[in-house]
Chain A
Amino acid sequence: MIRQLRRPDFWTVVTGVILVVLVVLLLIPIIRVLLLSFVDADTLKWTLGNYVEVFTRNFYLKGLKNTLFVGFLGTLGACMLGIPLAFFTARFHLWGRAWISTLAILVLVSPPFIGAYAWIMMLGSNGFITNFFGRIGIETPTIYGAHGIVLVFTLKFFPFVFLMTQTALMAVNKSFEDAAENLGCTPLQRFTKITLPLVFPAISTGAIICFVLSIADFGTPAILGRGFRTLSTIAFSAYRSELGGVPTMAVTVSMIMIAISMLALLAQRRILAKRRYASSLTNLPVKTHLTGWRNVAVHGFCHGVVLIAMLPSLVVVYTSFLKTNGPVFVGGYGLESYGRIWRTAPEAIANSFLFATAAVVLITAFSALISYVIVRRETTASGAIDFMMMVPYLIPGVVMAIGFVTTFRSGFFGGIGAAWLLVMLYFIRRLPYGVRSTTSSLRQVKPSMEEAAINLGAPPLTAFLKVTVPLILPGLIVGSLMGFITAINELSGTLILYDAGSITMPVSIYLAVLDGEFGLAAAHSTVLLLCTGVCVYFVFRFTENRNSAFL
């Protein structure tokens, strides 16, 4: 008894540490910014006027409607591509599975801003696909407008649904499906009645990420919208307005976006709370061989989807090798773009990798601990942590970064360098990717195994490291990978925090686009794509070899 008082339970200490980190890095900065939405920009007095304006002016209401429209349709489209792709790759022997997964991940790396420009090069009024069909007499609709935005969101965000669902599908207990088959279900019935509900937590998690990212995405509607305004473009223009002063309207509109995302998340959690599926990862599904036309069709679908989704990146790579004179592509090929980035690129690459790697090391460690606390320790504190874990990816990078500047650039924390701030920003903003993915994995693991280890005398930390972590490793790896990829692509927050020594690749890309220097932006993007692609491929090879041991 006395011993217990002196040494609090291991997981209680962990919970305490997590809470402190989240309060300092998340709550304090956000609250400092949130207060701005209740401030009148001119008089600096407290007011509700900003919210009144948003909910009464048609300008904002139309933006709200548009945001929900493209958000829902984009998410729907992402599910329609992601779920079948996950099912096919998880259940059938496919030629080039690592390749498909790598491409799907690379789609997520599609560099900021330049991606939407690539669509214009293909399907714009003077795009090469438009022109190709124009020459043979077919009028194709241009990419501009709501349908173009939905198309781009679908192709840009489906990998989240795909990766989450695939991981879950591989861990489903095969006995359920076998039972359904024995009881006379057709394959389709078995899929819709047994498999789909079993992986629903993962699908809905992927879908929520798509939805949140769709409504927060600025670059796509800004470049393809042509008058189709969304809340993100409204907030970003308000923020980028040169008048300076306190960005109250930008923050207020951001708060509305945050509220929408939060409602969607709460809805998902309510639905999930009613369902509990656990499997012991003992009777894992086996992959089958397809033959005949089915084989061809499945291969065609899987490779087709990732290739089409990769098109913008391929166009960017192609663009980077075009011969340029100043900003103009003069025809033919050349390395001028690379020549011009040669001086600055190495520093930006090194910074990007350094910051993202440092952040991901933290993300991985914290994800494992946090998901254990959330799933296994049902206390008030763990509920609070679970709730706070929804917050970071709802908060636009701009809002988070302004909070960081006001919190950490002066006063008690003053003097922290930009590089440290960027690592902390990436860590806190991308932590939910790791936690979500790991939590999904952990929910599928029965607690009985860790309990067995503890009953046999293992200390909590040993039981956690030796039993739990290996079981949730696939989820942890996928989550950390998503964290890494989204961290290395972070732009909006970095733009506010970076200093001369800490410029990153996305910032270089953005600045080149800002100058209209698409050749330079394409060269920067290609380098980023290449670096990340190599990492991703090796991680997949690694996990595949590991998985194959027990798949």
Chain B
Amino acid sequence: MKKSIKTTAFASVIAISASMAAADGIVTVYTAVPQNFIDALVPMFEEQTGTSVEIIKAGSGELLNRLTAEADSPMGDVLWSVDGTVIDFNPGLFEAYEAAGTDMLADGMKQSDMWSPFTAVVMTFIVNESKLDGKPVPDSWAALADPMYDEMISSARAEASGSAYIQLATVLQAFDSEEAGWEVYKGMLSNFVLSDSSGAVPRFVNDGELAVGVTLEDAALRYVEGGGPVQIVYPAEGTAIAPDAMALIAGAPNGDNAKAFLDFMLSQEAQTVVAEQGRRPVRSDVGSNPALLPLAQVNSVGYDGKWAADNRARLVDQWKDMVLDVQ
């Protein structure tokens, strides 16, 4: 008797938690986006739709592993803000969806049927001039390859970080040929101090541990706006203006809410907040943050995301080999 009461109690606890999970009005979002975007955008969405958002935040690699492990019984609805190539790489985990507002996207932002762009990421240098020991501020990818900056440049690992992979692909596209790009990148890599966390790159430059970092424009901007001793430098040969992606997870338990979430993130309202947070909006009718260099003045390499996705396995292998030689 006593045992059956316990069993019933246990079963009802399970049932309650199960019914909560199945209740209407929630959407579970897996995301690698910096916290400031969550704080600014999620309450807006909740207020507008009445849907409550459950955020699971982790590095994009961890999220991908989670999705793979959960593939048989998906727990998440949306993957929000990762490098688009990782979605193209795992098409089985996602479901194609064209978010409302796709027609308003700026040129070059819609790159795949599998995912929608959320923001446009611009790759820049963050420089702490006082730690350069009088050396000139590097203003181009080629300058970063100069041996005088040996052990002075912070970068994430291209095999592990989506942004570092975009940086590699940008350098390979910025010169006359891929070989010429590799030549420059090899010099850069031998100057790099590699970090396992891309969030640490601007941090260490701001703290004076290293003089130069290769990072995201908005991450650098947060340190500049915070009053850190750093400046943003745009590479002279051109840089990537690349979309980061959000997608509907295949078999999402709250698919409709997930679609509403994706629609909202492409809305003019949400994109205006994106601009305030220092990322470049992806809609043609929303302007950039005035604290940043106007997009027209940023020299773009015309980043070819499709090439970067198609060649990813090969380039990462080559990168891994090169690390063994020069690091």
Contacts and interface: CB of A to CB of B under 8 A. Distances in A.
Contacts of A124: 207, 209
B200 A223 contact: yes
Interface in A107-130: 120-121, 124-126
A119 B316 CA distance: 32
Contacts of B210: 125
B209 A125 contact: yes
B249 interface: no
B306 interface: no
Interface in A219-235: 222-223, 226-227, 233
Given A237-B196, A242-B60, A410-B73, 6 more contacts: A120-B204, A223-B200, A241-B61, A327-B228, A513-B199, A517-B35
A241 to B, nearest CB: 5
A516 B202 contact: yes
A366 interface: no
Contact of A240 (B59, B193, B327): B59
Contacts of A520: 35
B227 A330 contact: yes
A516 B64 contact: no
B56 A417 contact: no
Interface string B206-223: 111110000000010011
B131 interface: yes
B62 A327 contact: no
A416 to B, nearest CB: 8
A22 to B, nearest CB: 21
A409 interface: yes
A409 B73 contact: yes
Interface string B81-111: 0110010011001000000000000000000
Interface stretch (B117-125, B158-166, B261-269, B286-294): B158-166
A500 B86 CA distance: 23
Nearest to A227: B327
A421 B289 CA distance: 44
Nearest to B93: A244
Interface in B253-297: none
A237 B197 CA distance: 10
A58 interface: yes
B14 interface: yes
A270 to B, nearest CB: 37
A511 B36 CA distance: 12
Contacts of A405: 66, 69-70
A236 B199 contact: no
Interface in B178-232: 193-194, 196-197, 199-204, 206-210, 219, 222-223, 225-228
Nearest to B221: A326
A245 B90 contact: yes
A409 B17 CA distance: 14
Nearest to B55: A500
Contacts of A120: 204, 207, 209
21 contacts: A120-B204, A124-B207, A124-B209, A125-B210, A239-B61, A242-B161, A242-B162, A242-B165, A243-B312, A244-B93, A245-B68, A327-B222, A410-B72, A415-B14, A417-B14, A495-B62, A511-B35, A514-B58, A515-B35, A517-B35, A517-B199
Given A326-B226, A409-B70, A240 B34 contact: no
Given A409-B70, A511-B35, A513-B197, A240 B209 contact: no
A181 interface: no
A496 interface: yes
Contact of B226 (A243, A327, A513): A327
Nearest to A499: B56
Contacts of A406: 69
Contact of A515 (B60, B199, B226): B199
A243 B193 contact: no
A58 B89 contact: no
A410 B73 CA distance: 7
A498 interface: yes
A328 B324 contact: no
B69 A327 contact: no
Given A226-B193, A242-B60, A499-B54, A328 B223 contact: yes
Contacts of B57: 511
Contact of B194 (A227, A246, A330, A416): A227
A13 B312 CA distance: 56
A516 to B, nearest CB: 4
Nearest to A328: B226
Interface string B29-72: 00000111000000000000000001111111110111111101
A395 B227 CA distance: 44
Contacts of A409: 69-70, 72-73, 75
A242 B85 CA distance: 9
A242 B160 CA distance: 6
B5 interface: no
A223 B324 CA distance: 19
B28 interface: yes
Contacts of A38: none
Contact of B208 (A126, A227, A500): A126
Interface in A491-518: 495-496, 498-501, 511-518
B1 interface: no
A246 B313 CA distance: 15
Interface string A303-338: 000000000000000000000111110100000000
A324 to B, nearest CB: 7
A330 B226 CA distance: 7
Contacts of A58: 324
Interface in B126-163: 131, 157, 159-162
A414 interface: yes
Contacts of B65: 239, 244, 247, 402, 496
Nearest to B200: A516
B61 A496 contact: no
A406 B201 CA distance: 34
A46 interface: no
A242 B58 contact: no
B18 interface: yes
Interface in A47-75: 58-59
Contacts of A227: 193-194, 327
Contacts of B68: 244-247
Interface in A417-458: 417, 419
Interface in A145-159: none
Residue from A328, A415, A417, A513 with most neighbouring chain B CB atoms (10 Å)? A328
B54 to A, nearest CB: 3
Nearest to B67: A244
Contacts of A419: 17
A125 B208 contact: yes
Given A496-B62, A499-B54, A326 B225 contact: yes
A516 B204 CA distance: 9
A243 B64 contact: yes
Contacts of A246: 68
A242 B206 contact: no
A328 B161 contact: no
A325 B226 contact: yes
A534 B91 CA distance: 49
A365 B61 CA distance: 37
Nearest to A236: B196
Contacts of A330: 226-227
Contacts of A247: 65, 68
